[in-house]
Amino acid sequence: MNRQQRVKWERTRAQGMWRFALLWAVLGSGSMIFAKFVFYSNFGILAGGLIGLVVGFLTGLAIWLIGEYTYQKNFDND
């Protein structure tokens, strides 16, 4: 993690984990997953929406934990 990545992560981190998981992951990757399940499979809108929400949220939490681990590993002693 370089200086620019550190500054960006600190800004993201200040907004909080739940906000990150909900906004970035659910609206970002979750909406793409929703579209894929609805338009390219036999899932209905409700099932695609639920899958998109759950997978997007879990993706957001995983990305947060990886980012936090990297930050703590590199900058915890500062």
Domain carrying residue 52: 3-75
Amino acid in position 38: V
Whole-angstrom Cα distance, residue 45 to residue 18?
Answer: 25
How much is the pLDDT for 77? 63
Cα 23 to chain centroid distance, Å, stands at 8
Per-residue model confidence (pLDDT) at position 66:
93
Residue 64 is predicted with a pLDDT of: 92
How many domains are contained in the chain?
1
Residues in Cβ contact with 60 at an 8 Å cutoff, skipping those fewer than 6 apart: 20, 21, 22, 24, 25, 26, 29
CA–CA separation, 68 vs 70, rounded Å? Answer: 5
49-62 residue pLDDT tens: 888 888 888 888 99
Give the H/E segment covering residue 26. Answer: none
